[in-house]
A and B are shown apart, each in its own frame.
Chain A
Amino acid sequence: MSRLRWTFAMVAALSVGAACSYEPTGGAPRAGTLRLRLTTPHADDGAMLFDVNGPPIDSAMAVNSSLRLFTRRAGGSTVVGAVVGVLANGAVVTLQVPDVGAAAGYTARVLEVADRQNALRASLAGYALTVAP
């Protein structure tokens, strides 16, 4: 194989490989599900108010029947939600997004937390929300 033909073959192979890659590295967006994961220092959380900023979110739902979710779209890039029920460490909400590849672009904040007796947490230290596949 001449040097020129070898070079062409490598470029072609790389092109095919790139086209078949799972990650949309600059390719078409891929809709999918992301999870909103809670980190909490308490074992008796009963309700949480939060917001999620970033790329578009198509819809949101609670991860299981022990939780109930209420949301409102506040402008194009923010969703405010309240999730009520037996809250614990781990996923609490699933987000349907048009582009799962943009997960890193989401930021989520814990705004308020109440225990199961309705008392508002005085401090949100130790709480965190992350958005990830």
Chain B
Amino acid sequence: MNKAAVVRCPVLVLLALSGAVPALAQTPAVGSWREEVRRLRDAPIVLPARGGAKTGKYGFAPRLAARRPTNASVAATIAESEPNDSVRTADSVALGDQATGVVNPAGDVDTWFVDLTAGQFLSVDVDAAQVGSSLDPTLTLLAPDGTTRLAFNDDFDGLDSRISFRVPTSGRYYVVIRAFGGPGTGGPGLTYAINFGTVTCAAVGTEREPNGNPGTASPVAIGTDGSGEICSADSSPVGDVDYWAFTAQAGTTIELDVAAARLGLLVDPFIALFASDGTTRLTFNDDDVTPDPRLQYSIIATGTYYAAVSTLADPGGNPFPYTLHVRLAAQGPGDPITVLAENLGQPTGLAVGSTGDLFASDFTGHRVVRVSGQGVVTTFATGIPIPQGLAFDGFGHLLVASGDGAVYRVTPQGQATRFITDAGFPVGVAVALDGRIWLTDLSDRSLRRYSRTGQFEARFDVIAVGGFGPSALAIGPSGEPYFSNGFEIWKLANGQPERVLRNLSLIGAFAFDVAGNIYATSPVAGSIKLFDPTGTVLADPFSVGPDAPKAVAFGRDGTGATVARLFATDPRVGRLIEMNPAGVALRGLPVGQVPPPFTLDAAAAGLLGGASLSAADLQYLDALGNHNGRYDVGDFQAYLRSVGGLPVAAAMATAQPRPGSDR
């Protein structure tokens, strides 16, 4: 063993996390992993033994000087000995030692070996960038054969790497450190220290290990926090799972929010919520706006529920601390929600039929389900790959945007055929008052318009609006298509996109009421927000009942008229839900092609100065046509088209691409 230097100089490292997490602010138990890391980090770092390019000072000495003394220390500090760029020339180190070196010259690779016993939970922790070095390291752990890669880590503690790995067999293991950035990276400033040790899992914070199942769950009350550490104490393939038990009341919406990555570690926790039986998983989340998970869930029955915190990204790997916040979500006028149907797979799109039945696209089930007003679920159509947006056309067919690049048309009997096939990746679909079909096409970031019978008419490029869309799509009160680009809603006015509103959270879908107010879902925030037609927030949240709402639509009665009932899909939990109707002030804007409430003769007479049409009729006609604020001959032409009254030659002439579109 090449131990060039041994220094024992206890200092206290002020870990970035310690002040942020209550559990970590406590004095670690003797022998805990955290103490081990602190002890390793407390040791002063010596320079590499040899001169030349590898000699020099580490840039973080002043930081070390600021550390408070402690009684922890490393066993030995080992400077690298070049050449050590392969397993054959690897430098030796033992558990408890600190290895030091420099990645220099460019492309340098330093290899270390350590002898381990089966079952040991190895910790290899780099201090470099975090303490002032220019090195952004990567670590690789190789098996005793010298070639099999067991683990890899780039960033854990900021840019610094760490690997925690439980070795399955006794033998010699190799640790390889490189500079991130490829073979051209290296230099005298790229110094590092590697702390070799073992992970010791111990209960920290308010968790009470063992708590790996509902029966041993640690208690936590709503309105308080639980804190603990994900640290795999055994070789379980799922790693450590911490269960927390709490009691929740029916009619409330609880929020579970895990803080770990936001504390500064590059970790990826996961959370799941289980029902009172401890086995039925109600919902889960991996990532919110950061790798930290967050979820909301509306409690239907009072009882004990279980939150399980774990990690899917690196089970059995690097331990990390976390705080679980258990809160009641502040409710809005649309709360509490009611669950109309469950077990719908992953319902993504939503449309309401003319008799009031709801239709939801099951994203992963490749089908469309029909849900009656009483919540009876039947499969309506199958064999539609990755179905997303839904809308009914002017003939009563259901249009389904599919991930296979087509829009399917489904007859009332449930027969599905590929209908529109020239769009690349249709996501949203909507039918205007005149029966024309609109699509959002993610493949070329455009809106596309088709005739009632599916003939392509025009394409509108919306790349310029930026964001991630276009995705969600709905026809606004003036007959113009509105679409989302992620965080914003835009409308296409006279062929030009105009921004309507900007939201702080990703928009899943939106629907209009008759006044033009916009109900927008936020799957990430787990809420629905209400905006007025100008984009001013009217209610935030309108509802927090949904876990991760996606599609949203107003209900219709048996005559096809929209009503003041708002429904949404919740793909994360497979539900179709209804917001509290007492909070829905106005009925929905009619969707799809709506049969006009007057005859052709009346429409003609209204134009020619004869029979007087109501203000609503005139507004309807204007919305059908050029929406210039009055009923004119252009609107009458649009009306004729919508009722199939145009001469054939005129209808065909109209189907030609509109000047100004780029196709």
Q: A49-B633, A66-B647 given as contacts; is B609 within 8 A of A74 (CB)?
A: yes
Contact A119 B626 (CB under 8 A): yes
Decide yes or no whether A118 CB sits under 8 A from chain B. Answer: yes
Contact B647 A86 (CB under 8 A): yes
Which residues of A are found within 8 Å of B632, using beta-carbon distances?
A: 49, 112, 114, 120
Q: How many residues of B contact A (CB 8 A)?
A: 27
Contact A84 B640 (CB under 8 A): yes
A78 to chain B, nearest CB (A): 10
Select the stretch in B156-164, B196-204, B232-240, B648-656 that faces chain A.
B648-656
Contact B647 A68 (CB under 8 A): yes
Which residues of B are found within 8 Å of A70, using beta-carbon distances?
A: 604, 607-608
Which residues of B are found within 8 Å of A112, using beta-carbon distances?
A: 632-634
Contact A65 B634 (CB under 8 A): no
Contact B649 A119 (CB under 8 A): no
A residues 74-95 with Cβ under 8 Å of B?
Answer: 74, 80-82, 84-86
Contact A82 B633 (CB under 8 A): yes
Residue of A nearest to B494 (CB): A119
Which residues of B are found within 8 Å of A86, using beta-carbon distances?
A: 647, 649-650, 653
A59-77 interface bits toward B, Cβ cutoff 8 Å, 1 = contact, 0 = none = 0000001111011101000
Residue in B628, B633, B654 whose Cβ sees the most chain A Cβ within 10 Å = B633
B residues 617-636 with Cβ under 8 Å of A?
Answer: 625-626, 628, 632-636
Q: How far is the CA of A47 from the CA of B654 in the complex (A)?
A: 12
Residue of B nearest to A121 (CB): B634
Decide yes or no whether A21 CB sits under 8 A from chain B. Answer: no
Number of cross-chain contacts by CB at 8 Å: 95
Contact B608 A84 (CB under 8 A): no
Q: How far is the CA of A118 from the CA of B635 in the complex (A)?
A: 6
Q: How far is the CA of A133 from the CA of B399 in the complex (A)?
A: 52
Decide yes or no whether B183 CB sits under 8 A from chain A. Answer: no
Contact B633 A85 (CB under 8 A): no
A59 to chain B, nearest CB (A): 15
Indicate which residue in B609, B634, B636, B653 contacts A72 across the interface (CB closer than 8 Å): B609
Decide yes or no whether B646 CB sits under 8 A from chain A. Answer: yes
Contact B647 A65 (CB under 8 A): yes
Indicate which residue in B604, B608, B628, B650 contacts A46 across the interface (CB closer than 8 Å): B650
A72 to chain B, nearest CB (A): 4
Q: How far is the CA of A120 from the CA of B494 in the complex (A)?
A: 12
Q: How far is the CA of A85 from the CA of B636 in the complex (A)?
A: 12
Contact B636 A47 (CB under 8 A): yes
Which residues of B are found within 8 Å of A46, using beta-carbon distances?
A: 634, 637, 650, 653-654
Which residues of A are found within 8 Å of B466, using beta-carbon distances?
A: none
A109 to chain B, nearest CB (A): 13
Contact B626 A84 (CB under 8 A): no
Q: How far is the CA of A67 from the CA of B645 in the complex (A)?
A: 11
Contact B646 A117 (CB under 8 A): no
Residue of B nearest to A65 (CB): B647
Q: How far is the CA of A74 from the CA of B605 in the complex (A)?
A: 11
Q: How far is the CA of A70 from the CA of B633 in the complex (A)?
A: 11
Q: How far is the CA of A114 from the CA of B607 in the complex (A)?
A: 13
Q: Which 4 A-B pairs have the closest CB atoms?
A: A114-B634, A66-B649, A118-B634, A72-B608
Q: Spell out A's residues near B (CB within 8 Å).
A: 44, 46-49, 65-68, 70-72, 74, 80-82, 84-86, 111-120
Interface CB pairs A-B, < 8 A, 21: A46-B637, A46-B650, A47-B636, A47-B637, A48-B633, A65-B647, A65-B648, A65-B649, A70-B607, A72-B604, A72-B610, A81-B608, A84-B636, A86-B653, A112-B632, A114-B633, A114-B634, A116-B653, A117-B654, A118-B637, A120-B628
Q: Spell out B's residues near A (CB within 8 Å).
A: 604-605, 607-610, 625-626, 628, 632-638, 640, 645-650, 653-654, 656, 658
Besides A114-B632, A120-B628, 6 new A-B residue pairs in contact (Cβ under 8 A), listed by A number = A49-B608, A65-B647, A70-B604, A114-B633, A116-B650, A118-B626
